[in-house]
Protein backbone atom coordinates (compact mmCIF):
# COMPACT_ATOMS: atom_id res chain seq x y z
CA UNK A 1 0.00 0.00 0.00
CA UNK A 2 1.25 3.48 -0.85
CA UNK A 3 2.02 5.75 2.11
CA UNK A 4 -0.47 8.17 0.57
CA UNK A 5 -3.41 5.76 0.63
CA UNK A 6 -3.67 5.84 4.42
CA UNK A 7 -1.62 8.87 5.30
CA UNK A 8 0.13 8.99 8.68
CA UNK A 9 3.18 10.96 7.55
CA UNK A 10 2.71 13.70 10.18
CA UNK A 11 1.49 13.65 13.81
CA UNK A 12 -2.03 14.64 12.72
CA UNK A 13 -2.45 10.99 11.63
CA UNK A 14 -5.29 11.78 9.21
CA UNK A 15 -5.49 8.27 7.69
CA UNK A 16 -6.71 10.06 4.54
CA UNK A 17 -6.44 8.46 1.11
CA UNK A 18 -4.61 11.30 -0.58
CA UNK A 19 -5.34 9.93 -4.04
CA UNK A 20 -8.96 10.86 -3.32
CA UNK A 21 -8.86 13.62 -0.69
CA UNK A 22 -6.49 16.17 0.81
CA UNK A 23 -5.26 15.77 4.37
CA UNK A 24 -5.05 18.30 7.22
CA UNK A 25 -1.85 19.57 5.62
CA UNK A 26 -3.56 20.30 2.30
CA UNK A 27 -1.47 17.74 0.43
CA UNK A 28 -2.74 15.37 -2.26
CA UNK A 29 -0.98 12.70 -4.27
CA UNK A 30 1.27 15.15 -6.16
CA UNK A 31 3.73 17.54 -4.60
CA UNK A 32 2.62 21.17 -4.70
CA UNK A 33 5.46 23.69 -4.96
CA UNK A 34 5.08 27.46 -4.44
CA UNK A 35 8.56 28.73 -5.27
CA UNK A 36 12.01 27.58 -6.38
CA UNK A 37 14.75 30.06 -5.51
CA UNK A 38 18.32 30.74 -4.48
CA UNK A 39 17.94 32.01 -0.92
CA UNK A 40 20.89 33.89 0.58
CA UNK A 41 19.26 34.66 3.94
CA UNK A 42 19.50 31.19 5.48
CA UNK A 43 22.22 30.55 8.08
CA UNK A 44 25.71 30.87 6.48
CA UNK A 45 26.41 27.13 6.80
CA UNK A 46 23.26 26.45 4.74
CA UNK A 47 23.37 29.34 2.26
CA UNK A 48 27.11 29.70 1.72
CA UNK A 49 28.16 32.25 -0.90
CA UNK A 50 25.70 31.36 -3.64
CA UNK A 51 22.59 30.72 -1.56
CA UNK A 52 20.54 27.72 -0.54
CA UNK A 53 18.53 26.06 -3.28
CA UNK A 54 15.15 26.45 -1.64
CA UNK A 55 12.09 24.50 -2.75
CA UNK A 56 9.04 25.83 -0.89
CA UNK A 57 6.28 23.23 -0.59
CA UNK A 58 2.65 24.31 -0.21
CA UNK A 59 0.59 23.19 2.77
CA UNK A 60 1.67 22.47 6.34
CA UNK A 61 0.83 20.15 9.23
CA UNK A 62 0.85 23.11 11.62
CA UNK A 63 -1.51 26.08 11.34
CA UNK A 64 0.47 28.86 13.02
CA UNK A 65 -1.64 31.98 13.33
CA UNK A 66 1.41 34.22 12.77
CA UNK A 67 2.80 32.38 9.72
CA UNK A 68 4.44 34.80 7.29
CA UNK A 69 4.05 32.18 4.56
CA UNK A 70 0.31 31.80 5.19
CA UNK A 71 -0.56 32.08 1.48
CA UNK A 72 1.15 28.75 0.86
CA UNK A 73 0.94 27.10 4.30
CA UNK A 74 -2.74 27.82 5.03
CA UNK A 75 -4.20 28.46 1.58
CA UNK A 76 -2.04 25.99 -0.37
CA UNK A 77 -1.01 28.42 -3.10
CA UNK A 78 1.32 26.61 -5.50
CA UNK A 79 1.63 24.40 -8.55
CA UNK A 80 1.29 20.63 -8.59
CA UNK A 81 4.24 18.78 -10.12
CA UNK A 82 5.01 15.18 -10.99
CA UNK A 83 7.79 13.29 -9.23
CA UNK A 84 9.76 13.54 -12.48
CA UNK A 85 9.48 17.32 -12.51
CA UNK A 86 10.40 17.44 -8.83
CA UNK A 87 13.61 15.57 -9.62
CA UNK A 88 14.35 18.05 -12.39
CA UNK A 89 13.82 20.95 -9.97
CA UNK A 90 16.30 19.44 -7.52
CA UNK A 91 18.92 18.98 -10.22
CA UNK A 92 18.31 22.45 -11.65
CA UNK A 93 19.13 23.95 -8.26
CA UNK A 94 22.54 22.30 -8.50
CA UNK A 95 23.02 23.68 -12.03
CA UNK A 96 22.24 27.18 -10.73
CA UNK A 97 25.10 26.91 -8.22
CA UNK A 98 23.10 26.34 -5.02
CA UNK A 99 25.23 25.31 -2.06
CA UNK A 100 22.53 23.00 -0.65
CA UNK A 101 19.10 21.68 -1.58
CA UNK A 102 16.82 23.31 1.01
CA UNK A 103 13.46 21.50 1.24
CA UNK A 104 11.10 23.86 3.06
CA UNK A 105 8.07 22.35 4.87
CA UNK A 106 8.58 18.95 3.22
CA UNK A 107 6.96 16.48 5.65
CA UNK A 108 3.69 15.80 3.84
CA UNK A 109 5.55 15.14 0.57
CA UNK A 110 8.21 12.71 1.79
CA UNK A 111 7.29 9.93 -0.72
CA UNK A 112 7.37 12.34 -3.66
CA UNK A 113 10.63 13.88 -2.46
CA UNK A 114 12.31 10.49 -2.13
CA UNK A 115 11.28 9.62 -5.68
CA UNK A 116 12.45 13.01 -6.89
CA UNK A 117 15.88 12.66 -5.31
CA UNK A 118 16.38 9.22 -6.88
CA UNK A 119 15.53 10.69 -10.29
CA UNK A 120 17.80 13.71 -9.69
CA UNK A 121 20.71 11.49 -8.67
CA UNK A 122 20.43 9.67 -12.00
CA UNK A 123 21.18 13.03 -13.64
CA UNK A 124 24.18 13.68 -11.39
CA UNK A 125 22.62 15.45 -8.39
CA UNK A 126 25.02 15.57 -5.42
CA UNK A 127 24.11 18.57 -3.21
CA UNK A 128 23.71 18.19 0.57
CA UNK A 129 19.98 17.69 1.21
CA UNK A 130 18.55 19.94 3.96
CA UNK A 131 15.24 19.00 5.60
CA UNK A 132 13.80 22.37 6.71
CA UNK A 133 10.91 21.55 9.02
CA UNK A 134 8.61 22.86 11.75
CA UNK A 135 9.89 20.06 14.00
CA UNK A 136 6.42 18.49 14.18
CA UNK A 137 7.46 15.09 12.86
CA UNK A 138 6.72 11.39 13.27
CA UNK A 139 9.73 9.17 13.96
CA UNK A 140 8.39 6.63 11.45
CA UNK A 141 8.45 9.26 8.69
CA UNK A 142 11.90 10.54 9.63
CA UNK A 143 13.22 6.96 9.44
CA UNK A 144 12.44 6.98 5.71
CA UNK A 145 14.98 9.78 5.28
CA UNK A 146 17.96 7.86 6.66
CA UNK A 147 20.81 8.02 4.15
CA UNK A 148 18.98 10.59 2.04
CA UNK A 149 18.82 13.74 4.17
CA UNK A 150 22.22 15.10 5.19
CA UNK A 151 21.18 18.04 7.36
CA UNK A 152 18.09 18.48 9.51
CA UNK A 153 16.99 22.08 10.03
CA UNK A 154 14.08 21.85 12.51
CA UNK A 155 12.28 24.62 14.32
CA UNK A 156 11.73 24.22 18.03
CA UNK A 157 8.85 26.60 18.51
CA UNK A 158 7.30 26.14 21.96
CA UNK A 159 7.82 24.49 25.31
CA UNK A 160 4.38 25.37 26.65
CA UNK A 161 1.45 23.21 25.45
CA UNK A 162 -0.84 26.19 26.03
CA UNK A 163 1.14 28.30 23.57
CA UNK A 164 1.38 25.56 20.98
CA UNK A 165 -2.34 24.88 21.22
CA UNK A 166 -3.28 28.55 20.90
CA UNK A 167 -0.78 29.49 18.21
CA UNK A 168 -0.49 26.28 16.16
CA UNK A 169 -3.41 24.01 17.08
CA UNK A 170 -0.92 21.43 18.38
CA UNK A 171 -0.96 20.97 22.13
CA UNK A 172 1.49 18.06 21.83
CA UNK A 173 4.05 20.11 19.88
CA UNK A 174 6.97 20.02 22.33
CA UNK A 175 6.51 16.35 23.17
CA UNK A 176 6.56 15.47 19.44
CA UNK A 177 9.32 17.87 18.40
CA UNK A 178 11.64 16.92 21.26
CA UNK A 179 11.58 13.25 20.30
CA UNK A 180 11.93 14.12 16.63
CA UNK A 181 15.02 16.27 17.20
CA UNK A 182 16.65 13.56 19.31
CA UNK A 183 16.08 11.13 16.46
CA UNK A 184 17.46 13.60 13.89
CA UNK A 185 20.68 13.84 15.91
CA UNK A 186 20.81 10.05 16.04
CA UNK A 187 20.40 9.84 12.25
CA UNK A 188 23.09 12.35 11.28
CA UNK A 189 25.67 11.98 14.03
CA UNK A 190 28.09 14.85 14.77
CA UNK A 191 28.01 17.96 12.62
CA UNK A 192 30.46 18.13 9.74
CA UNK A 193 31.33 21.31 7.85
CA UNK A 194 33.27 21.32 4.58
CA UNK A 195 34.39 24.67 3.15
CA UNK A 196 31.92 26.46 5.40
CA UNK A 197 28.91 24.37 4.37
CA UNK A 198 27.20 21.98 6.76
CA UNK A 199 27.45 18.57 5.11
CA UNK A 200 25.75 16.66 7.90
CA UNK A 201 24.27 17.40 11.30
CA UNK A 202 21.38 19.17 12.99
CA UNK A 203 20.79 22.92 13.23
CA UNK A 204 17.88 23.79 15.54
CA UNK A 205 16.09 27.08 14.94
CA UNK A 206 14.04 29.00 17.48
CA UNK A 207 12.18 32.24 16.77
CA UNK A 208 11.55 34.33 19.87
CA UNK A 209 7.91 35.42 20.08
CA UNK A 210 6.52 38.53 21.79
CA UNK A 211 5.70 37.87 25.43
CA UNK A 212 7.26 34.40 25.35
CA UNK A 213 10.91 34.93 26.27
CA UNK A 214 10.62 32.66 29.33
CA UNK A 215 9.24 29.91 27.13
CA UNK A 216 12.25 30.42 24.85
CA UNK A 217 14.57 30.04 27.83
CA UNK A 218 12.93 26.74 28.81
CA UNK A 219 13.54 25.44 25.27
CA UNK A 220 17.20 26.48 25.40
CA UNK A 221 17.60 24.81 28.77
CA UNK A 222 16.13 21.60 27.39
CA UNK A 223 18.43 21.71 24.35
CA UNK A 224 21.47 22.28 26.55
CA UNK A 225 20.59 19.50 28.99
CA UNK A 226 19.91 17.10 26.12
CA UNK A 227 22.74 17.92 23.69
CA UNK A 228 25.12 20.37 25.35
CA UNK A 229 27.21 22.18 22.77
CA UNK A 230 27.17 19.26 20.32
CA UNK A 231 24.49 20.79 18.04
CA UNK A 232 24.17 24.13 16.28
CA UNK A 233 21.36 26.47 17.26
CA UNK A 234 19.94 29.59 15.62
CA UNK A 235 18.04 32.16 17.69
CA UNK A 236 15.91 34.29 15.39
CA UNK A 237 14.65 37.83 15.95
CA UNK A 238 12.72 38.05 12.68
CA UNK A 239 9.19 37.84 14.10
CA UNK A 240 6.88 40.17 12.18
CA UNK A 241 3.14 40.47 12.95
CA UNK A 242 1.37 38.93 10.00
CA UNK A 243 -1.83 37.12 9.05
CA UNK A 244 -4.12 36.41 12.07
CA UNK A 245 -1.43 37.68 14.47
CA UNK A 246 -2.32 41.23 13.46
CA UNK A 247 -5.50 40.85 15.53
CA UNK A 248 -3.99 38.87 18.43
CA UNK A 249 -3.48 40.82 21.70
CA UNK A 250 0.00 39.38 22.37
CA UNK A 251 1.26 38.79 18.84
CA UNK A 252 0.24 42.01 17.09
CA UNK A 253 3.42 43.80 18.16
CA UNK A 254 7.04 43.30 17.20
CA UNK A 255 9.62 41.68 19.42
CA UNK A 256 11.47 44.09 21.73
CA UNK A 257 15.25 44.36 21.90
CA UNK A 258 15.12 43.35 25.57
CA UNK A 259 13.11 40.19 24.83
CA UNK A 260 15.50 38.99 22.15
CA UNK A 261 18.73 39.98 23.88
CA UNK A 262 17.68 38.32 27.14
CA UNK A 263 17.18 35.02 25.33
CA UNK A 264 20.56 35.31 23.57
CA UNK A 265 22.24 36.16 26.86
CA UNK A 266 20.68 33.07 28.45
CA UNK A 267 22.05 30.88 25.66
CA UNK A 268 25.51 32.25 26.41
CA UNK A 269 25.05 31.62 30.14
CA UNK A 270 24.11 28.01 29.46
CA UNK A 271 27.32 27.55 27.45
CA UNK A 272 26.23 27.46 23.81
CA UNK A 273 29.05 28.49 21.46
CA UNK A 274 27.72 27.22 18.11
CA UNK A 275 24.88 29.70 17.94
CA UNK A 276 23.68 31.97 15.14
CA UNK A 277 21.95 35.20 16.11
CA UNK A 278 20.19 37.83 14.02
CA UNK A 279 20.32 41.58 13.78
CA UNK A 280 17.03 43.24 14.75
CA UNK A 281 16.77 44.68 11.24
CA UNK A 282 16.09 41.15 9.92
CA UNK A 283 12.43 41.53 10.95
CA UNK A 284 10.36 42.93 8.10
CA UNK A 285 7.93 42.06 5.35
CA UNK A 286 10.61 42.72 2.73
CA UNK A 287 12.17 39.36 3.64
CA UNK A 288 9.01 37.43 2.81
CA UNK A 289 9.22 35.78 -0.65
CA UNK A 290 6.78 36.51 -3.45
CA UNK A 291 4.82 33.33 -4.07
CA UNK A 292 4.77 33.67 -7.85
CA UNK A 293 5.67 30.08 -8.75
CA UNK A 294 9.07 31.04 -10.14
CA UNK A 295 11.15 28.04 -11.14
CA UNK A 296 8.40 25.50 -10.61
CA UNK A 297 7.50 24.78 -14.22
CA UNK A 298 10.82 25.59 -15.84
CA UNK A 299 14.48 26.30 -15.15
CA UNK A 300 14.62 29.59 -13.19
CA UNK A 301 17.00 32.29 -14.32
**pLDDT tens-digit series, residues 105-131:** 999 999 999 999 999 999 999 999 999
Residue with the larger pLDDT of the pair 286 and 189: 189
**Pairing outcome for strands 79-81 and 31-39:** antiparallel
Distance CA 203, CA 280 (A): 21
List the domains of the chain with CATH numbers.
Answer: 33-287 (3.20.20.70)
Q: Which residues contact 164 (CB under 8 A, 6 or more apart)?
A: 157, 158, 170, 171, 172, 173, 174
Distance CA 69, CA 86 (A): 21
Q: Is the pLDDT of residue 284 over 70?
A: no
Asked whether the beta carbons of 177 and 135 are under 8 A apart, the reply is yes
Distance CA 58, CA 108 (A): 9
Q: What is the rounded average pLDDT for all residues in the chain?
A: 95
Distance CA 42, CA 165 (A): 28
Task: Give the angle subtended at the CA of 187 by the CAs of 184 and 191, to the nearest 5°.
Answer: 80
Q: Which residues contact 124 (CB under 8 A, 6 or more apart)?
A: 91, 94
User: 287 falls in which pLDDT band (50, 70, 90)?
Assistant: low
**pLDDT for position 240:** 94
**pLDDT for position 280:** 73
User: 298 falls in which pLDDT band (50, 70, 90)?
Assistant: confident
User: 20 falls in which pLDDT band (50, 70, 90)?
Assistant: very high
Q: Is the pLDDT of residue 295 over 70?
A: yes
Of the ranges 78-92, 200-214, 280-294, which one carries the lowest mean pLDDT score?
A: 280-294
User: 279 falls in which pLDDT band (50, 70, 90)?
Assistant: confident
Asked whether the beta carbons of 52 and 38 are under 8 A apart, the reply is yes
Say whether pTM exceeds 0.85.
Answer: yes
Amino acid sequence: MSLLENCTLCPRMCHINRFEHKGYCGGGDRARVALVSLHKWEEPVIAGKNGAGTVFFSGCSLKCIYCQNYEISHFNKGIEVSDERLGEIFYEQQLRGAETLDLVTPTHYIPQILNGIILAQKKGFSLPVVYNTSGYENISSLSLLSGVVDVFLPDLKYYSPELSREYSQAEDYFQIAAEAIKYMVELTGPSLEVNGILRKGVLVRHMVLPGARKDSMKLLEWLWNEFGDSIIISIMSQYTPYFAALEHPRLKRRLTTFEYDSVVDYARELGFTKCFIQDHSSAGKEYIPHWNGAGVEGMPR
